[in-house]
Amino acid sequence: MLNIGDIIKATGGSIVVKGDAEFTGISIDSRTIKDGELFIALKGDRFDGHNFTMDALKSGAGAIVSNLQFIAQDVVANNRTIILVDNTLLALHNLARYMRKKFKGHVIGVVGSNGKTTTKELISSILSIRLNVLKTSGNLNNHIGMPLSITRMNKNTHIMVLEMGTNMPGDVDELCSIALPDIGVITNIGYEHLQGFGSLHKVRDAELEIAPFVKKLVVNADDLFLMEGVVKKFKGEIITFAIDVEGADITVRDIVFSDEYTKFLLCAKSEYIDINLKIHGRFNIYNSIAAAATAYAVGFNLQEIKNGLESFEGVNMRFEIKKARGVTFLNDVYNANPSSMQEAINELVRLINSGKYRRAIAVLGDMLELGDYGVSEHKKLGQRLSVIPVDTFIGVGPLMSFAVSEFVGKGISVDTSDDAGIKLGEIIQEGDIVLIKGSRGMRMERVIAAVEDSEEAIGLLQQNRS
């Protein structure tokens, strides 16, 4: 329970109307708010929560945190608690920071260019074996989602696992100043959000903004560029994980891939245990051992780590292997940058080389937010695809047309993911394997939906069976 005294103390706000004195939680969405929750009216570029304060009250909000200039008389007349602040987003940050400072358990911050959400979920899967874990929901890792996650803390919370995203310098520092993590995890450094950073060195600097806040830092020892920065900027305890580099704290050996599982031997100093994952790809081994290293750092044993890793079912739209009508789809549509795109292509090549598939098709959408690197990175992608056994490449969006122009093979350029789905539906055959990936803004999940709705695709597949 939150009380009005704590909220005033945390936000520095003032009470206009005094009603309820205690609240069951925090909400920023009038559509999902529950009885007795405090509604914080946030204002964004495309929305203004102050327009929905009456909706929130009708849905049972116990109080409203608002900016003075947005208070309407009908809200005041409702006789619910109204707290006025200068800036509602800053009030959310201050409230989350206030609650965090009262928390006595570990707070784990997860940053990095790729794999943050899956790593966060894997860490939580292990820790929940014997702890009550509070984690960021989905990929709510920004200046709204992460502090809102902290406000869900209650007296039963033992540990927090918080994903922290970044689009520009200073983002991680701001989030850390709220979350105050004592353990940090850096998954890797890659070509992400170059529009906001401009160079790989600045990406690394941004992710390393977590370093001054933490006592322990879990890092990928195979990422030599990352390690170079860590050694320069961090003086606390470093816990390493690796597949290739010898001598890391957590390593693996005897890796076996299949369509159903990923197996390996997890090694922690002189201890070993077999792991059988339900998720796929070399990159997910990295995510798993990052989680293992983190759990090991807070005192979990290998059997507990094994149980947590093996029970993990995966994250929606992150390299899910789906089969429909004899076609295998590699559904990795959540997001994309040059580094994660290369990892997905590497996994496609491994699967092609298994000899189980008739043809390989790549349906790839624009990699956004690359700034001046956009055209060149897409051209490089087309060149890389030309030297692997991909039968057909469907590029989605204006940037991916540059990749298609460099592709030596059957290349098709389309404007939208719907167009790509229709085109794919015309050419797929039973026994094909199809990689689908692109930035979130490209909505590449619509490709599979369009294929499923394509009567022509169904007819072709039925024809191939007969």
Binding positions: 112-118
Q: How far apart are CA 437 and CA 326, in angstroms?
A: 20
Question: Is the separation of the CB atoms in 347 and 320 below 8 Å?
Answer: no
Q: How far apart are CA 317 and CA 331, in angstroms?
A: 6
Written as six digits, the tokens of 102 are 């009262």
Question: Is the separation of the CB atoms in 64 and 49 below 8 Å?
Answer: no
Written as six digits, the tokens of 389 are 């056994």
Q: How far apart are CA 47 and CA 442, in angstroms?
A: 22
Question: Is the separation of the CB atoms in 319 and 344 below 8 Å?
Answer: yes
- Binding residue ranges for ATP: 112-118
Q: Taking CA 349 as the corner, what is the angle to CA 376 and CA 287, rounded to the nearest 5 degrees?
A: 85
Residue with tokens 């299949």: 258
Question: Is the separation of the CB atoms in 73 and 123 below 8 Å?
Answer: no
Q: How far apart are CA 92 and CA 99, in angstroms?
A: 11
3-state secondary structure of 77: coil
Q: What is the CA radius of gyration of the chain?
A: 24
Question: Is the separation of the CB atoms in 288 and 277 below 8 Å?
Answer: yes
Q: Which residues touch 452 (CB under 8 Å, ≥6 apart)?
A: 324
H/E run at residue 371: none
Question: What is the side-by-side strand order in the sheet with 159-163?
Answer: 133-135, 159-163, 107-111, 183-186, 216-220, 237-242, 250-257, 262-268, 271-277
H/E run at residue 241: strand 237-242
Q: Which residues pair with 321 in a beta bridge?
A: 330
Q: How far apart are CA 409 and CA 394, in angstroms?
A: 11
Residue with tokens 């964004």: 44
